[in-house]
Amino acid sequence: MAYRDLRDFLKILEEEEELLTVQEQLNPRFELSAAMKVINDTRAVKFDNIIGYPGKAAVCNVLGTRHRIARLMGVPEETLTQSFIDRKSQLINPLVVKEAPVKEVIIRENIDLPSLIPVLTYHEKDVSPYFTSAIIIARDPETGMQNMGLHRIQVKGGNRLGSLLANPPIATFWQRAESVGQGLEVAIAIGVDPAIILGAMTKATAEGPDKFAAAGGIKGEAIELTPAETSNLLVPARAEIILEGRIIPGLREQEGPFGESTGNYFQYENPVIEIHTITHRREFIYHNIQVWGTEPDVILTLGVSTENISSLKRMVPSLKDINFSPGTCMFNAVASVQGATTAEVRKLMNLILSMDQRIKNIIVVDDDVNIFDMREVEWALATRFQADRDLLLLTGLKGYVIDPSVGADGFTAKIGMDATKKGEDLDKFEKITMPEESISRAREALKASGGI
């Protein structure tokens, strides 16, 4: 079944028993976030009964598994990485439409975001609620070209927001506007087609490509956009909520503390956004991405690993795939190789550790190890790695802005661990296995008994 928007996708997840609906009353201040931590599994969760917000629902962990992303794209999970690489560059331009369910309700006065939207407060010392699935849309003040990005946003109260604009293209549009003393018109879309979230994970500069076109490519179908109410921006017509407003030039306010994707609290000096218009669906569903949860791990891994894997494969053809350890904010990576020599593994480790500021530690394993199962990766490290022989240490590299261990000088050290089989007698590394037919038979039997 094809799907048109977040609601449609949730219906599919419900039919396929991937969506848990919680009817019990919970508070958006800590309790929804706590529920996601307690459940700690891969299902998407919809909260239908939120204290203080009757009739409104919140949904979390929509893209929390590779299986669901493969489902969205209509491709086998086994080939997801390659399909994502192929699809994101087969750009499909968005379609501008008149029918826009997101305009069912329009609010132009007395804007009070915290009372309208059940925004979650995630962690104990967070200064306030935060939007974590918000897509910021803006135009380049120099070229007029529109683009978008995913940025977490502090909800300060009333119509005021604050956001860390660290990544291009939105960060560049904002710098260009402010450098000539101008504000920047923005639209913030919440509850978008999940393909748009995946499109936001692709890399773009101010010059492009259009991430909505990348989202269309990933989905295999054009994303529907419609003119915003108060600016020349085009916004997702089938989103749940659109906030229209302006980033104020020359103004910085303290933002945070906020519990970040590193699992630590951070504070910043950030620009302020003022919202003057809201459009939303009549009974909107509020979409959030759990901070330090499985969903950012899965979507960032797909976004970042596929960005460089093609060029890496050209330089080291034995490279098979790359993954990142859950909960490490992409600081810890794992790569698999097929039949690589020790020199090739060294070259690969050097390349991966240099390609992205976030990547700090890399483990390289043979392709008999499932790099999406950290138990197997740890097993390879335990049984195939010797530190005095297989460790690579790099120092004096630029660290990532939200790594609390990076020193005041901004530098970080990085390590590579070669956990591939090596030596004269490779047989001793043979992984113990069971016959495939026996595993299938056991799976059938357990399924029939309701065991899985």
Ligand X SMILES: Cc1cc2nc3c(=O)[nH]c(=O)nc-3n(C[C@H](O)[C@H](O)[C@H](O)COP(=O)(O)O)c2cc1C
Q: Is 132 in the site for ligand X (CB under 6 A)?
A: yes
Taking CB under 6 A as the criterion, the residue among 32, 165, 243, 298 binding ligand X is: 165
Q: How far is the CB of 449 from ligand X (least distance, A)?
A: 39
The encoded tokens of residue 336 equal 């698999």
Q: How far is the CB of 133 from ligand X (least distance, A)?
A: 7
CA-nearest of 347, 349, 352 to 307 is: 352
Q: How far is the CB of 403 from ligand X (least distance, A)?
A: 14
The encoded tokens of residue 72 equal 């969205």
DSSP string of 167-234, one letter each residue: STTHHHHHHHHHHTT--EEEEEEES--HHHHHHHTS--BTTB--HHHHHHHHHTSPPEEEE-SSSS-E
CA-nearest of 290, 244, 285, 296 to 118 is: 285
Q: Is 299 in the site for ligand X (CB under 6 A)?
A: yes
CA 268 remoteness from chain centre: 21
Q: Is 166 in the site for ligand X (CB under 6 A)?
A: yes
Q: Is 300 in the site for ligand X (CB under 6 A)?
A: yes
Residue 343 has a CB neighbour count (10 Å cut-off) of 8
Specify the residue, 310 or 342, whose C-beta has the smaller distance to ligand X: 310
Q: How far is the CB of 431 from ligand X (least distance, A)?
A: 33
Q: How far is the CB of 295 from ligand X (least distance, A)?
A: 8
Q: What is the DSSP letter of 146?
A: E
H/E run at residue 277: strand 265-280
Binding to ligand X, residues 187-206 (CB under 6 A): 200-201, 203
Q: Is 150 in the site for ligand X (CB under 6 A)?
A: yes
Among 71-79, 100-108, 214-222, 293-301, the segment contacting ligand X (CB under 6 A): 293-301
Q: How far is the CB of 42 from ligand X (least distance, A)?
A: 17
Specify the residue, 412 or 420, whose C-beta has the smaller distance to ligand X: 412
CA-nearest of 356, 348, 346 to 301 is: 356
Dihedral sign (CA 97, 69, 243, 53): positive
Q: Is 289 in the site for ligand X (CB under 6 A)?
A: yes
Specify the residue, 21 or 361, whose C-beta has the smaller distance to ligand X: 361
Q: How far is the CB of 203 from ligand X (least distance, A)?
A: 5
Specify the residue, 56 or 287, whose C-beta has the smaller distance to ligand X: 287
Q: How far is the CB of 121 from ligand X (least distance, A)?
A: 16
Q: Under a CB-based contact definition with an 8 Å cutoff, are residues 132 and 152 in contact?
A: yes
Q: How far is the CB of 445 from ligand X (least distance, A)?
A: 40
CA-nearest of 366, 279, 361 to 328 is: 361
Binding to ligand X, residues 353-382 (CB under 6 A): none
Pairing of strands 332-337, 361-366: parallel
Q: How far is the CB of 24 from ligand X (least distance, A)?
A: 26
167-171-176-181 Cα dihedral, nearest 10 degrees: -150
Q: Is 296 in the site for ligand X (CB under 6 A)?
A: yes
CA-nearest of 119, 144, 143 to 133 is: 119
| Residue 392 to residue 350: CA distance in whole angstroms | 8
# residues near ligand X by CB under 6 A: 19
Specify the residue, 298 or 348, whose C-beta has the smaller distance to ligand X: 298
CA-nearest of 132, 129, 119, 236 to 189 is: 236
Task: Give first-to-last CA distance, the chain, whole Å.
Answer: 25
Q: Is 167 in the site for ligand X (CB under 6 A)?
A: yes
Q: Is 333 in the site for ligand X (CB under 6 A)?
A: no
Specify the residue, 289 or 352, whose C-beta has the smaller distance to ligand X: 289
In total, the chain counts a number of residues equal to 452
Specify the residue, 51 or 166, whose C-beta has the smaller distance to ligand X: 166
Among 147-155, 274-282, 377-385, 419-427, the segment contacting ligand X (CB under 6 A): 147-155
Q: Is 65 in the site for ligand X (CB under 6 A)?
A: no
Specify the residue, 126 or 366, whose C-beta has the smaller distance to ligand X: 126
Interface ranges with ligand X (CB under 6 A): 132, 149-152, 164-167, 171, 200-201, 203, 289, 296, 299-300, 303-304
